[in-house]
Amino acid sequence: MSGPALLADYTRLTDVALRRRLETERGLYMAESTRVIARAVEAGHSPRSFLMAERHWEEMRPVIAAARGCEGRDDGGPVPVLLACEELLETITGFHLHRGALAAMNRPALVDVSRLLASARGGRGARRVAVLEDLVDHTNVGAAFRSAAALGVDAVLVTPRCADPLYRRSVRVSMGTVFQVPWTRAPRWPATDELHDAGCSVVALALSDDAVDLDDFAARPVCTAPDSKIALVLGTEGDGLRRRTLAAADYVVRIPMTGAVDSLNVAAAAAVAFWAVRVED
């Protein structure tokens, strides 16, 4: 692959709509920052190329060496490292690259929902699953993944219209935990068959009048039983969950609020709910 073709992966990174199309067409995603790139490589993701300022070369050498053990370029050659001054990097990418480095990574193939749920926890199956329904803010998606990794969620499903967990901002906000928590995109939604087949109770987080308070729900056998399995569904930042989703849920749960606040940001709500229904190993 020639230099101009390699650089094309990194151009106009701030244009969300364009990048959504280009990255899908090219089968790639962008990893930003030395830590995130290292986590992607540790997860076995293969790089197409690296782009960085010269001052980060020494810091990145061990990661680059590890990455060159992965399958990188389609022609089997070594993974290219592109170095440039910071002014040129900003011209190429469209923003100031203050987080150290970028890498164009080959996007891994997604598994189907049933396989994801069955293979979680080393093949023992998922006990706690998060479903992100139609979240449009990449920051919220990344934050939800970070909470999922920290609070014992075994797998994440994203719905067809949910923002891409591998978009640059999602990956950065997640601190690379999108590579740590197994996830896939459901081909249709709401479709709870695979979740029920895996033994999961589908739990919608919503402000319905008949919703059960989260602390009360967390004390029920559906959460406390040794073999309990829960799929917690979180909705869009503005409209919440679809009516069809609420109708398909086994339980509707809300986080009790005080101080005249009716709800939390979806990323904050995810963290609270994940903690409340966590499983102690």
Count of domains observed in the chain: 2
| Closest among 84, 15, 1 to 47, alpha carbons compared | 1
Q: Is the pLDDT score of 163 beyond 50? A: yes
Mean pLDDT along residues 127-149: 96
Average confidence score pLDDT of the chain: 88
Range of the domain at 81: 3-106
Residues 246 and 125 in one domain: yes
- Separation of alpha carbons 220 and 166, rounded Å: 35
Report the C-alpha gap between 148 and 181 in whole angstroms: 7
The pLDDT value recorded for residue 10 is 86
Task: Give me the mean pLDDT over the 174-198 stretch.
Answer: 94
- pLDDT computed for residue 261 by the predictor: 78
Q: What is the pLDDT of residues 70-94, one digit of tens each?
A: 544 444 457 888 888 888 888 888 7
pLDDT for residue 73: 44
3-state secondary structure the chain: CCHHHHHHCCCCCCCHHHHHHHHHHHCEEEEECHHHHHHHHHCCCCEEEEEEEHHHHHHHHHHHHHHCCCCCCCCCCCCCEEEECHHHHHHHHCCCCCCCEEEEEECCCCCCHHHHHHHHHHHCCCCEEEEECCCCCHHHHHHHHHHHHHCCCCEEEECCCCCCCCCHHHHHHCCCHHHCCCEEECCCCCCCHHHHHCCCEEEEECCCCCCEEHHHHHCCHHHHCCCCCEEEEECECCCECCHHHHHHCCEEEECCCCCCCCCCCHHHHHHHHHHHCCCCC
The answer to whether residues 101 and 230 belong to one domain is no
Residue type, 164: D
* Both tokens assigned to 118: 């069955």
Q: Could you read off the pLDDT of 37-76 as tens digits, one per residue?
A: 989 999 989 898 999 888 888 888 888 888 765 544 444 4
Which pTM value belongs to this model? 0.88
Task: Give the integer Cα–Cα distance in Å for 221 and 205.
Answer: 18
Residue 281 lies in a domain: no
Q: Are residues 269 and 176 in the same domain?
A: yes
Q: Are residues 215 and 80 in the same domain?
A: no
Mean of pLDDT values over 151-173:
94
Residue 69: CATH number of its domain? 3.30.1330.30
How many Cα neighbours within 13 Å face the side chain of 112? 6
Which one has a higher pLDDT value, 117 or 240? 117
250/268 same-domain check: yes
Q: What is the pLDDT of residue 69?
A: 57
Match 């690379």 to its residue by tokens. 176
> Domain check: are 161 and 236 in the same one?
yes
C-alpha–C-alpha distance, residues 182 and 247, integer Å: 27
Span 234-243, pLDDT tens digits? 998 667 899 9
Q: What is the dihedral of CA 235, 240, 246, 250, to 10 degrees?
A: 50
Taking residues 107-126, what's their average pLDDT?
94
Percent of the chain with pLDDT over 70: 92
**Do 62 and 96 have their domain in common?**
yes
Contact indicator for 19, 104 with CB cutoff of 8 Å: no
139 and 271 co-located in one domain: yes
* Res 71: pLDDT: 46
Give the domain CATH number at 210: 3.40.1280.10
Domain boundary residue, one of 78, 106, 134: 106
Residue 180's pLDDT band (boundaries 50, 70, 90)?
very high
